[in-house]
Chain A
């Protein structure tokens, strides 16, 4: 019986496992978290078509479908290394060592931190941490907080905190530093926000975003952006204020906010304090790809995909024999896209083992993926397709280079 190992029990990994199990594979899914679902677990938002996208429920559905097909889950099991020995991928965990010819890496994404003074105080956490505490573990990160970093993820989670009756005093920018870079630059942040303005509940914001197509208007927009912020779901979003310090004796007691210029410089004398008991840091997501690096995959920095991604083709093969990728390790996108990518990767693996008899199914899965991407409600990066094209060019070049070497 063919077998495969999937690392990562998020939407990509579990759907990949399901596809392979449906093709008669014996599949083991390994994840260091105690529940299957990955970053899907915490998600909670109202769909444009009505109804709620509930990550806990969606994760349970995927997990139960996989279990019903005989997929074996090793949860609470961190993978420390992978390597290829005698044509087999060897997967080292804290308990056992597993081997397989077919390895799917679906390790997802992690959040970039933004260090600002006071950020090590207890009560400061990543915005994803607050999301999981609130929606999965059902524990409040605090009673009243501030979110540092304005982006798609932070505004979505701000709303989730509000639904759970947790007060969010405001979402503001981080102090501009060499590390915070664009996340601390009001103009750059506004540009990225304009791409998600269709999510705004206010017609004014939606219309305003259409008016701001040219650079002059953008510059005017950020110059005259109201200092007290604009409200989204009743939470002030402040593009002209930055959190310059988090203070407290043994845990968070408050933050210092200051007005900033359109390019992010602090305007002296404008500092004010807000009392809060928690702070979320939202630096955005990047592909989590250490295992692909350990395996020896070549990498490319692609801004539109959120960071360094292992080189792979559009059917999820890496350049290493028997190693495949799916989900956010290939670029930052939503869970629905990750599910389609996992399905595609699963079919690609099965197809390799069945001498190409699933070509038709693969083309179908590719179509489904592209249409899901085109219709995605939340886009983490507006130019995702450009990023995918860049990667495809690198892949073609790599294939040509291999031919040259062989000849």
Chain B
């Protein structure tokens, strides 16, 4: 499913000649070279970019300008990269951020 706006009545036709491949959670997708990772994912109909570290609830892009840090993903093995600020490159390996273990809280829940 593409959410791409190809023809725009004022802005004209989109130049989509620089199409490249990348992977998101192992799935191969296409996007435009140099656009933000967030835009490339949304264009592919992907809303969930990350799961909250503690609660595990799904999160997507919120502010799109680097302030809210809701869109953090792993890019080529580096964690905590903001999808809205990072330009897409050929063969980028992108993995959604996920829930982290909370051993202290788990321990307290079982022992208090």
- Residue positions of A touching B, CB distance < 8 A: 32-34, 44, 52, 54, 56, 76, 78, 110-111, 113, 120-126, 128-129, 132-135, 137-142, 163-165, 250-252
Chain A residues near B4 (CB-CB < 8 A)? 138-140
B61 contacts A129, C-beta separation under 8 Å: yes
Minimum CB–CB distance for A343 against chain B, Å: 24
Q: Give B97 Cβ to nearest chain A Cβ, in Å.
A: 13
Q: Say yes or no: B85 contacts A137, CB within 8 Å.
A: no
Q: Nearest-CB distance from A306 to chain B (Å)?
A: 16
Residues in chain B near residue A165, CB distance under 8 A? 5
Number of interface residues of B (CB under 8 A): 36
B10: CB under 8 A from chain A? yes
Q: Closest residue to B7 on the A side, CB-wise?
A: A165
- B residues less than 8 Å from A128 (CB atoms): 63-65
Nearest A-chain residue to B60, judged by Cβ: A122
Chain A residue contacts of B103, Cβ below 8 A: none
Residues of chain B touching chain A, judged by Cβ–Cβ distance below 8 Å, are 3-6, 8-11, 14, 34-36, 39, 42-43, 47-49, 52, 57-68, 70, 84-87
- Which DSSP category, helix, strand, loop or mixed, fits chain A's interface? loop
Q: How far is the CA of A54 from the CA of B4 in the complex (A)?
A: 19
Q: How far is the CA of A120 from the CA of B65 in the complex (A)?
A: 17
Determine if A122 and B87 form an interchain contact, defined as CB atoms under 8 angstroms apart: no
Tell me which of B39, B61, B65, B87 contacts A110 (CB under 8 A): B65
Q: Name 11 extra pairs, CB < 8 A, besides A32-B66, A128-B64, A129-B61.
A: A76-B86, A110-B65, A110-B67, A111-B63, A128-B65, A133-B39, A133-B64, A137-B36, A138-B5, A138-B6, A140-B5
In the bound complex, what is the Cα–Cα distance between A6 and B4 (angstroms)? 34
A120 to B3, CA, bound (A): 21
Contact B63 A126 (CB under 8 A): yes
Known contacts A110-B67, A138-B11, A163-B10: does B43 contact A125 (CB below 8 Å)? no
